[in-house]
A and B are shown apart, each in its own frame.
Chain A
Amino acid sequence: MASLDDLKKRIASVKSTQKITKAMKMVAAAKLRRAQESAEKGRPYSEKMNNVILNLSNGISDKENAPKLLSGTGQEKTHLCVVMTSDRGLCGGFNSNIIKKAKGYFAKILDEGKELKIITVGSKGNDQLKRVYGDKIIENISFKESKNANYFDADKVGKMVIEKFEAGEFDICTIFYNQFKNVITQIPQAQQIIPLNNEVEENSSEESYEFEPDEDEILSNLLPKNISTQIFKAMLENSASEQGSRMSAMDNATRNAGEMVDKLTIEYNRSRQAAITKELIEIISGAESL
């Protein structure tokens, strides 16, 4: 059995860990509220953007000559995967969930004999992926300096993706992120952004739009923006998910630490009691022998 001193030290150490996790939980809760708010505020933009593009692609007359960002290169050889993770750890299964999802997808692509390129956003994802897929990672971006997800960062990633697309470096682009459902549940998502996955909604009214300038020109202007928008949306969802995940992870950690302190305290008291009893017996038996 551990000595009394050791137990005392352990209790103190667990207690201070508990203090840290408790503080982290509260910080995450405050940040979560803000992140969630901005994720919700960001939704109208991406929804409207989607609507406009849907209307446009319905209105486009010449499907053959549609911009490549919409219709694809006609090949499916090279896949680019943008894996978006956080820059900080201690957030439960947040990063591992995305990585797991992404790895499953990578394995599928490689099995089919296709080429794979990876861009990691956030340093945690890079750390986890570089061991296995180090040679496939072509770019690693991290926004450690920016406090909150902002559009300019997303735009940077978006522009880079488009640049690579125009240089013919890949055919299909998929982004991986965690969608925020609630504090306990975040769903890892794989979303294809190039070519745009057209959810064919035939119910969209037959209303015709007037375009100025023509559809093609608007589309070729709009599609790059849409990429950035989608990435921005993913970043917002990610940051809300990260905080949510961290909050519940830290909540669990605090509770576990509490249980541990209770257990250790009982053990401490017992051994103290045992030591006292032992001393008493020694005194009594010593007195008796006289």
Chain B
Amino acid sequence: MTMFWPYSQPEDADKVALVVIDMQVDFCAPGGWVDQLGEDIANTRAVIPAVARALQLARDAGMAVFHTREGHLPDLSDLPANKQWRTRVHGLGIGDEGACGRILVRGEPGFQIVPELAPLKGEVVIDKPGKSAFHATDFDQQLKSAGISHLVITGVTSDCCVQSTFRDGYERGYECVILEDCTAAVEHRNHAATMDILKAYGGRWGTVSNLTGFQQAIEAIHA
């Protein structure tokens, strides 16, 4: 059996943060950006119940919970020109007016976290302009202030922001675990390839587990 944690069990549940990446209307709800592009949101939507279960497990165990949202300032001063150009090729780019407000702009309806996974009072929400939750945010500082050493990462999309955050957590010395059944990509082929890359040789950057593993790990901490 593979270990849930990459190296060591956390000293206590309060050393662990559950990180929920970008479960926003624009990525996983009808009427959001991905849906408006005519792409299938079935994959990203399908993990909502599993992420809700992970949230419940973490909250019950007394772990910290961090949510992230990808989006840009209303004046788009934090939006690289190539990022906007690449999205506009699809017909509806970042900053453009869509059915749920301006695409991936802070404060707009599409930018919000889906209601099923709404943050509770006291949970931190990190608003980020990049793929990685660590890029151009105070995420690392907040984790350090809270004494967090271990990250359990969920959300969307597995090939993009989840993978970037997992890799950057590793660079910074956090023990990172992805819950495979709590993450998805728009294209399943890319999700499967990402999981294969991240799992190879026991996990170069951390480990890949699932909800069952998470539940057992919580029981082990409390034992």
User: Do A and B come together as binding partners?
Assistant: no
> A-contacting residues of B (Cβ < 8 Å)?
none
> B-contacting residues of A (Cβ < 8 Å)?
none
